Amino acid sequence: MNYSEALNLEPGKAICYSGFREGQWPGGKYPSYEEIKEDLLILHGHWKYLRLYDCDEQSKLVLEVIRNENLDFKVMLGAYINAEVNNYGCPWGGSYPEEVLEQNKIDNEARIKDLIRWANEYPDIICTLSAGNEACVDWTDHYVPVEKVIEYVRMIKEGAKQPVTFCENYLPWLDKLRILVDEVDFISIHTYPVWEYKNIHEAMEYTKQNYYAVADTYPDKPVVITEAGWTTFSNGKGIDPNNVSEEFQAVYLKDLSKWCQEDVILTFVFEAFDESWKGSDEAHEPEKHWGLYKVDRTPKRFMKDIHVNV
């Protein structure tokens, strides 16, 4: 189903944005108004849609900058929901004391209420809403049962007018999230061939397989890709270092952009800028290097090629 018609959105390029720089991190030091303005001016003209993950201090500033500076962006805004039950199968720690889980439930509901309030405060900027991010997949460290996600989706739909989704890896939509499909206005999937041991020559076909596995299962529901990308470094843990580079990132994203434009598929590239706070302390930790720009805001190969060809 064509997302543009179904969701009343203009066709356009989309990217995930998080502006944490060196020495900044969620829950700690946040980017300033001027730093976010600098970032958005870098992205302006290349990207129509921005995806923001949470209703936090950073996202509020992003919305203010877009409005105050009259920038041509539309925003998918999410509420980042934390663990409400333990997930003992998570390899990097999904187990919490009961009092933490209970507090998370309170905090999650507050986030959902913030999402609704901001959606109504910025209806000209916020175009879609997400009830969470990767909270139902088997390996998550912030597990929330799908039944609770359904409650949050219903809360959002009752309080806001924008289309509502839930952002998750492609695979759970084929089984455990089936009961969520009728609740959301569109399905949001994540596809990462490089995390699933695909080399650059297999990558684009694998992404297409991920997308059509979901889209063909639910032909009456729009499907959006809310994360797809290629890291440029790896420490060898989970991703072969020989399978990542700026050149490989450029190849994958060029193929991805061509396919999405031809088939009218809204895809949020992951992600705008490298974020040094993510993952382990190792310099080549892959989580730190998905950006199209480095932490210092200099462009990587894909963006350099775009500028050359403009």
Q: What is the 3-state secondary structure (H, E, C) of the chain?
A: CCHHHHHCCCCCCEEECCCCCCCCCCCCCCCCHHHHHHHHHHHECCECEEEECCCCHHHHHHHHHHHHCCCCCEEEEECCCCCCCCCCCCCCCCCCCHHHHHHHHHHHHHHHHHHHHHHHHCCCCEEEEEEEECCCCCCCCCCCCHHHHHHHHHHHHHHCCCCEEEEEECHHHHCCCHHHHCCCCCEEEEECHHHHCCCHHHHHHHHHHHHHHHHHHCCCCCEEEEEECCCCCCCCCCCCHHHCCHHHHHHHHHHHHHHHHHHCCCEEECCCECCCCCCCCCCCCHHHCCCCECCCCCECHHHHHHHHHC
pLDDT, tens digit (0-9, with 9 covering 90-100), for 32-63:
999 999 999 999 999 999 999 999 999 999 99
Q: pTM value?
A: 0.97
CATH of 3-309, picked from 3.20.20.80, 3.40.190.180, 3.40.50.720, 1.20.120.1200, is: 3.20.20.80
pLDDT, tens digit (0-9, with 9 covering 90-100), for 212-262:
999 999 999 999 999 999 999 999 999 999 999 999 999 999 999 999 999
pLDDT, tens digit (0-9, with 9 covering 90-100), for 64-119:
999 999 999 999 999 999 999 999 989 899 999 999 999 999 999 999 999 999 99
